[in-house]
């Protein structure tokens, strides 16, 4: 079992991530008021692990805040590699993992080499869609439910 370390979102493209202590997970907006959640596609929510992020920062010999990855949720204690089709239960809602979150070129604008460092072993995280609405709080328990 894992837990939620952080929650964040962007109100519109090109703005900085806003960190939340808690947020609503909804069909309309994904996490909080994140503009990307309104797309209503399989890439509504982005999730990464603190373990992966710490490995990337160690490899780059740089301390970078996790929101620079533009992830909505950072968790610990759950391995997300090859988890497509699995379900994350967070508090009282569910997110279906729909694929690996492939790092884009903008990651190298944050730090040279960041894109490549995130590429190894799904360290860039996963994306998914809200399949049951609810609330998310820092410290919430996270369970990975494997696909049937």
Task: Write down the pLDDT at residue 100.
Answer: 96
Burial class (CB in 10 A: 0-12, 13-18, 19+), 6: buried
Task: Write down the pLDDT at residue 2.
Answer: 97
Task: Write down the pLDDT at residue 81.
Answer: 95
Task: Write down the pLDDT at residue 148.
Answer: 62
Look up the pTM and report it: 0.93
For the chain, the domain total comes to 1
Which structural domain range is residue 94 located in?
A: 2-145
Task: Write down the pLDDT at residue 146.
Answer: 82
Q: Which residues of the chain have pLDDT under 50?
A: none
CA angle 125, 45, 143 (to 5 degrees): 70
Task: Write down the pLDDT at residue 15.
Answer: 87
The half-sphere exposure of 115 on its side-chain side, counting CA atoms within 13 A, is 9
Distance between CA atoms of 146 and 148, rounded to whole angstroms? 6
The CATH number of the domain holding residue 108 is 2.40.33.20
């Amino acid at each position: 079992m894992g837990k939620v370390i952080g929650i964040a979102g962007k109100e519109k493209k090109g703005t900085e991530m806003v960190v939340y202590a808690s947020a609503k997970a909804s069909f309309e907006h994904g996490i909080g008021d994140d503009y990307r959640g309104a797309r209503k596609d399989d890439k509504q929510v982005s999730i990464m692990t603190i373990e992966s992020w710490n490995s990337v920062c160690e490899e780059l010999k740089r301390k970078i805040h996790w929101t620079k990855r533009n992830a909505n949720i950072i968790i610990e204690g759950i391995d997300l590699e090859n988890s497509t089709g699995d379900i994350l239960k967070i508090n009282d809602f569910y997110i279906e993992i729909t694929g690996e979150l492939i790092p884009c070129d903008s990651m190298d604008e944050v730090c040279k080499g960041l894109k490549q460092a995130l590429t190894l072993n799904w360290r860039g995280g996963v994306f998914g869609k809200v399949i049951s609405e609810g609330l998310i709080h820092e410290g919430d328990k996270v369970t990975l439910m494997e696909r049937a």
